Structure formats: C-alpha cells, structure tokens
Amino acid sequence: MRSKHACLIFFVSLFLPCFLAAQITAPSLDTLINKTRAAFDVPGISVGVLKDGTVVYSKGHGVRSLKNNLPADDKTLFGIASNSKGFTCIALAMLVDENKLSWDDKVRKYIPEFTLYNPFVSEEFTIKDLVTHRSGLTLGAGDLMFFPEGGKFTIQDIIHNVRYLKPESSFRSKFQYNNNMYNIAGEVLRRVSGKTWEEFIETRILKPVGMASSTASYNRVKNNINIIDAHAPVDGRVVAIPHDWNTLANPAGGIMSNVADMLVWAEFLMNDGVTKDGKRLISKEQLHQVFSLQIPIATAAKNAYDTKFSGYGLGYFLSDIKGYQQITHTGGLIGTVTQFILIPGLKLAIVVLTNQQSGAAFNTISNTIKDSYLGISNRDWLTTYSNSTIKFNKHSDSLKAAVYKQVEQMKSSPHNLPKKEQIAGTYKDNWFGNIYINTVGNKLRIACENSPRLKGELLPYNYNTYIAKWDDRSYDADAYVVFGFNENGKAQSISMKPISPITDFSFDFEDLAPVRID
C-alpha cells in the first residue's frame, strides 16, 4: 500500500521557516498547508497538533472531493490505512493483559492450519512475528489477494496461500513490510476474543477512547456526508477515484477516522493508555512493549535529525530525532496517504491526513512542525520535497515513455512477434489463481479470475515480453509480462514486474509465477 518511493520518503530528512523555535502559530501553518496543497496538487488536507495535552491546531484545508468541492474540516473522515496497524497491536496487547494470549505464543496454537514456505518457520512463528515485519517474505508479498478492491479471496484463502510465498531473506533477519501477516493477526484476535476484528476495535478501543466519529471499516461508516473521495493523477490530471480497500485487510489498514479523533488517540497513547475519563485500557507494561524496538532498520550515517537508530515496534516505526524518541506510522491507499507522529519527550503529536497520494505533502507539513518545536530554523522542506518529487516523477515518466515508445515501434514489426495463439491461454499461480490471456478481436487481453478489477490490454514490447496496460489508469501499475516458451514456441510460463518505481508495492507482480494449465 503505496509506492516504494512513498514509503522511502518517510525516512528522507529533507522545511519551511514558518515558525519561531518552540512555537507554532495557526496563520503560518495555514499558509504552509495551502502552499503544500498547491505544490503537490492535493485537493484536501486535514492537520492536527497536540502539545502538552492541549490541541493547538485542528483544521481542514481544501475540499473533501473534487466531485462536490465541499470544504474539508477536522471532522472529515479519511481512510487512515496502515495507521490501523497500531490499533491491531493495542488490541492484541489488551488480550495479553487479560492472559488470553502471549506475544511469544506460536501462531499455530490459535490457527493450526497456518503454514509458511519453510516448515521450521511455520512451527516457530509467533504472534509477535505476525506484527513486526520480520517473516522473511518480500515487501508486500501476497498483497494482490486483497489489493485492489473487489477480489474474491477470504481470510482462509490468505492463511492457506501464504505457504506458497517464497521468502527473500531468513526468518527474523530483516525488516520487510508485510500486510498479510497483520490480516492473519486479525484472525488470531477473532479466534481468541470471540469478536470480529471490527467489533473488537470499535467496542474495546474506539468507543472507550472517545473516538466518536471513527469506525473500523469503510463499510461501517453510518454517516458518509463528511467523508473524502480518494484522488490520483490520471493522464496528468488529479481526479476523484473510488475508495479502494478490501474489508478482508481491515486489520492491516481499514480504519476510518479524522483529525479530531486521531488527536484523542494520540492523547490516550501519551497518557500511558488511560482514557480522558480515567479508564485504563492497556497496562503500562504492554504499552511499553508496543513502543519497544523489535526489528532494526538501517539509518543513513548522516541525516537531518541526527537519528542514531530506527526500527519497528508493535504496529509503529520507532526512531530518535535530535535525542527524542519518535513513534510514528504512515498509511497509504490508492488516492489517500496519512501520517501519525508522537514525540513523547516533547509531549507533541502531529496528524496529517490527505486525499491524494503524495507522501511529500505530509512530510513537508509534519517535518516543518517538528522543526518548530525542536528549535530548528532555516530549512525549507517545501522546496526540498518539491524538487525531489519533480525529479522522481520525471524519472518515472521517462521510464514509462521509453517503454511505450518501444511499444509503438513494435506495431511496425508484427512479423517479429509470436502468433497470438502461442500466447493465449490460462495460466495458474499457486497463490493468486488463474490469469487469462485471451484474444479479443485483434488484441490480446489479460484478466485475473480472483481479482476482477485487474484487467487490461497486452501490448507487444519485444518477442517474449508484453506490457500489461491496466484498464484502471489510476493504478499507475503497468507491468512487464515476460513469457517463457517451450521448444515448440508455445508460451508455458509468465513472470511480471512493474515498469516504473512509482507503482504501489502492493501490486506484488514479482511474487507471481504462473504456468500454463491449458
């Protein structure tokens, strides 16, 4: 969920001298947010800041949707995406407090059918392993089972199919972000608590904490008047697109919330797990576990916040910035990205919710706010991120242009291509299911049985390689489709990879290995 570039930009340390050191003013933040919206073409951004237990800023800017142009405010609902992972871990921690499970319990204790590629890993895999991205699987492995929306998979399918996902690294040796382990953690929660993940999150966390407008899933929003549309660039223009999230993956990223409620969540976490009305929902010991480093992530030797360590805890990224602990997460859906930051030593929380998919936008705002409280001046994050985004987009566009230039050239060399009947057929991947290559008129089409929205035209690139040009252009996920032929010239296998680094990592084409079955 969200491109590799958008994930990496979270770690980039790149500001705007709007505020005096250790001081923030609403007018200067208003100006920054509107400049950021313009720079990155984001229709709506809501921002919240909590300092010393007081909300010092909570406001929306721009519009909820380009379809209606209604104003965004601090009550406007956004999909917070992977910021939901922290809620999943708090929920599990509550069950640990109740002695209903242990972080070190084996997953098979609760899901006996759970099996990974390596038998040893299957036996040793713990609840903690599910939520710390140390499975050894590749970035986003298996995400096509729930992404994009509209797939036919169930949680039982995910539990069964993860056995086919080949690891890239050894178990517990490397941080590699994975959503499906969180989906399986949600099933553990259900089997242990007797409540669905959605019921548990709403009744045991959202309601007691005081997040009155938030729900555990898009389809559970009762009043959808003040809610965003997602937006994405399509053919060079930002447009409103349908909300894209499969409820199957709610434990990894399903919660709907707003800035006002997320500030309540921030206050709850910084108040050691005690609600505004004085009720403790999680012990100090378990909250400490959530915010303790579980798997390290390498940091650059030289960076803007003098960060010495970074890594992942239970549902949160952890690092030090200028000597202070930082607890944070980002979230991304197609057309929506969000950011949540706690700096307990400063008693500071920052929330940025956007209805476009520019990570540079939320980083511009959050880094500027952080700098103002850290006493750092004379850094222009807006210009820095604008320049890096322009450079990255130019690079990505050049790659796509070169690919489609060759596609055009191949139109004049049809004799250099295999016949369509050499390629057309049904190919099956162990975990993803059937992929159909069909001839429609004089064109080749690709379609996926278990992901009906993932369909498009196959365009020749060279003799054995085609380009999958997906019908939904908001995906920005066109991919190489490379065929392997037998001695008779008939295609027998497929491998795939995105043509551009801008493609969301959840389009994990590279984990597919389809072979012909007809």
Same domain, yes or no, for 318 and 423? no
Burial class (CB in 10 A: 0-12, 13-18, 19+), 198: buried
Confidence of residue 4 (pLDDT cuts 50, 70, 90): very low
Same domain, yes or no, for 258 and 336? yes
DSSP letter, residue 511: G
- Cα–Cα distance for residue pair 188/197, rounded to 1 Å: 9
pLDDT of residue 268: 98
Query: Is there a contact between 371 and 377 (Cβ–Cβ < 8 Å)?
Result: yes
What number of CA atoms fall less than 13 Å from residue 461's CA on the CB side?
20
pLDDT of residue 451: 97
Classify residue 8: in a domain, yes or no: no
Q: Can you give the CATH number for the domain in which 73 is found?
A: 3.40.710.10
- Give the rounded distance of the alpha carbon of 213 from its chain centre: 22
**E strands of 210-306, at which residues?**
230-234, 237-241, 256-257, 295-296
Classify residue 307: in a domain, yes or no: yes
CA distances from 469 to 67, 460, 480 (A): 26, 11, 9
What is the arithmetic mean of pLDDT over 21-41?
88
Same domain, yes or no, for 98 and 229? yes
Q: Is the per-residue pLDDT at 111 higher than 80? A: yes
Residue ending a domain, among 354, 376, 397, is 354
What is the domain range of residue 481? 411-516
Query: Strand, coil or helix: what is 362?
Result: helix
Same domain, yes or no, for 259 and 344? yes
Q: Is the per-residue pLDDT at 19 higher than 70? A: no
Query: Strand, coil or helix: what is 322?
Result: coil
Classify residue 9: in a domain, yes or no: no
Neighbours of 438 (CB within 10 A): 15
Tens digit of pLDDT for each residue in 211-259? Answer: 999 999 999 999 888 999 999 999 889 999 988 889 999 999 999 999 9
Tens digit of pLDDT for each residue in 133-186? Answer: 999 999 999 999 999 998 999 999 999 999 999 999 999 999 999 999 999 999
Residue ending a domain, among 306, 335, 354, is 354
pLDDT of residue 249: 96
pLDDT of residue 2: 52
Same domain, yes or no, for 94 and 223? yes
Instruction: Give me the percent of the chain exceeding a pLDDT of 90.
Output: 90
The DSSP annotation for 88-152 comes to HHHHHHHHHHTTS--TTSBGGGT-TT---SSHHHHHH-BHHHHTTT-SSPPTTTTGGGT-STT--
Confidence of residue 17 (pLDDT cuts 50, 70, 90): very low
Same domain, yes or no, for 326 and 437? no
Instruction: Look at 54 and 223; give whichever has higher pLDDT.
Output: 54
Same domain, yes or no, for 330 and 416? no
Q: Is the per-residue pLDDT at 399 higher than 90? A: yes
Neighbours of 420 (CB within 10 A): 14
Cα angle: 358, vertex 364, 369; to 5 degrees: 140
pLDDT of residue 245: 82
Amino acid at residue number 214 = S
pLDDT of residue 23: 64
Kindly tell me the number of DSSP H helices and DSSP E strands found in the chain. Answer: 15, 20
DSSP lists the bridge partners of residue 494 as 483
Instruction: Give me the percent of the chain exceeding a pLDDT of 70.
Output: 95
Tens digit of pLDDT for each residue in 402-453? Answer: 999 999 999 888 777 999 999 999 999 999 999 999 999 999 999 999 999 9
Burial class (CB in 10 A: 0-12, 13-18, 19+), 391: exposed
Same domain, yes or no, for 422 and 330? no
Q: At what angle do helices 180-193 and 85-97 cross, to 10 degrees?
A: 30
Classify residue 382: in a domain, yes or no: no
Classify residue 32: in a domain, yes or no: no
pTM: 0.94
Classify residue 305: in a domain, yes or no: yes
Classify residue 462: in a domain, yes or no: yes
pLDDT of residue 1: 56
Same domain, yes or no, for 285 and 432? no
pLDDT of residue 18: 36
Classify residue 431: in a domain, yes or no: yes
Same domain, yes or no, for 418 and 283? no
- Give backbone dihedrals phi and psi of 269, rounded to 5 degrees, phi first: -65, -40
Residue ending a domain, among 311, 337, 354, is 354
Assigned token pair, 504: 């969301």
360 φ/ψ sector (left φ>0, alpha ψ -120 to 50, else beta): alpha
What is the arithmetic mean of pLDDT over 69-78?
98
Q: Is the per-residue pLDDT at 286 higher than 80? A: yes
Same domain, yes or no, for 81 and 217? yes
DSSP lists the bridge partners of residue 351 as 48, 340
Q: Can you give the CATH number for the domain in which 450 is found?
A: 2.40.128.50
| Count of the separate structural domains present in the chain | 2
Same domain, yes or no, for 345 and 472? no
What is the arithmetic mean of pLDDT over 45-57?
97
Tens digit of pLDDT for each residue in 449-506? Answer: 999 999 999 999 999 999 999 999 999 999 999 999 999 999 999 999 999 999 999 9
